A and B are shown apart, each in its own frame.
Chain A
Amino acid sequence: MSAKIKRRDFVSLLGGAAAAWPVAAGAQQPAMPVVGYLSSFPADINPKFTQAFLQGLNDAATSPSNIVGTRKVDTIDCQ
């Protein structure tokens, strides 16, 4: 891993929540879990794996003790 870092933030929508979540959510709003996503897979392959990861987050949320809402996933690609 070298210094070549490309960062992107994206949002996984769960349970019908449609609002993108800013990095620093206001204190009065309920805290949304933040998942850090660190990958050193090739950039051209990463999207496919990230997609599978987001699918898994969605699958996890369909179990009885749902976490409903928007989860912020912070991605850093490093190669």
Chain B
Amino acid sequence: MMAADLVGQRVDVLFASPLPAALAAKAATTTIPIVFAVGSDPVKTGLVLSLNRPGGNLTGATFLSVELGAKRLELLRDLVPKIASIGLLVNPNNPTAAVQTKDIQTATTALGLQLHVLHAASQSDFDSAFVTLVRQRTDALVVSADPFFLSHRDQLVALATRHSMPAIYYAREFAAAGGLISYASNFADSFRQAAIYVGRILKGGKPADLPVLQPTKFELVINLKTAKTLGLEVPPTLLARADEVIE
């Protein structure tokens, strides 16, 4: 409805982010050019036909947040010794929930780890999710990519601290809020790139001809203060790989 509202105002280009906004924009118009910034593969979520030749009235940038689950799991194992079981926090309302869960399932199976998937669709679910994690003696947590989790990062980070749960997150903002570790592309950079596409479309470019932009750089952020609180010794090799260390 919000997207339709903007379309009704006869905008020349519509920018939409993240995925729910992009899907709403796509549903609202097939004629007005749309530039998106989303966290997932836009082919898999049906936004475009292909990355190189989007085809329709949409193009944009992806942060590839959703695709990094297995990599985050690997980083978490490098940081936390002797992990046997992993928790995955997922918002079941997220359009990519199934994809993210399957990726982590595949990765944990390959590594011989036990996986506990916990669903949280509202703030009140967070407390019970952490209680379950502790009861199941889960060693560490992967917080899946979801805007709702980002909105409530302070609460999630506080719960992880209270329950001494080492966790990896999908955005720098979590580590900045006291989360142990994050691994992600620079979202703001994708916004800037998407805006450059908006500029090109305003000058006559066609979304169908503009390849979807993908990040080339990913940032590892480690919160040393949180590591210390959790009694974790950060391996020097991992520390050397960090793009940012929060003391």
Q: Are B17 and A39 in contact (CB under 8 A)?
A: yes
Could you mark each residue 47-77 of chain A with 1 if its beta carbon is under 8 Å from any beta carbon of chain B, else 0? 0111111111101110101010001001010
- Pick the contact of A74: B9, B187, B203 (CB < 8 A): B9
- Counted as pairs of residues, one from A and one from B, with CB atoms less than 8 Å apart, the total is 116
**A76 in contact with B2 given A48-B188, A52-B191, A53-B191 (CB within 8 Å):** yes
Is the beta-carbon distance between A49 and B24 smaller than 8 angstroms?
Answer: no
Number of interface residues of A (CB under 8 A): 35
Q: How many B residues are at the interface, by size bracket? A: 35 or more
CA of A53 to CA of B11 in the docked complex: distance in angstroms?
Answer: 17
Residues of A within 8 A of B10 (CB): 34
Query: Nearest Cβ distance between residue A67 and chain B, in whole angstroms?
Result: 6
**A27 in the interface (beta carbon within 8 A):** no
- CB pair B21–A35 under 8 Å, yes or no, is no
B151 close to A79 (CB less than 8 A): yes
Q: Mark B142-160, 1 if CB is under 8 A from A, else 0.
A: 0000010011000000000
Closest to B200 in A: A60
A42 on the interface (CB 8 Å rule)? yes
User: Closest residue to B195 on the A side, CB-wise?
Assistant: A56
Q: Does B6 contact A (CB under 8 A)?
A: yes
A19 to chain B, nearest CB (A): 19
Cα–Cα distance between A79 and B20 once the two chains are bound (Å) = 10
Q: How far is the CA of A55 from the CA of B12 in the complex (A)?
A: 19
Interface residues of B (CB under 8 A from A): 2-3, 5-7, 9-18, 20-21, 24-25, 32, 37, 147, 150-151, 173, 187-189, 191-196, 198-200, 202-203
In the complex, 20 of the A-B residue pairs with CB atoms within 8 angstroms, ordered by the A residue number, are A1-B2, A34-B9, A34-B12, A35-B12, A35-B15, A36-B6, A36-B11, A36-B13, A39-B16, A40-B21, A42-B147, A42-B150, A53-B191, A56-B195, A56-B198, A56-B199, A59-B195, A59-B196, A60-B195, A74-B6
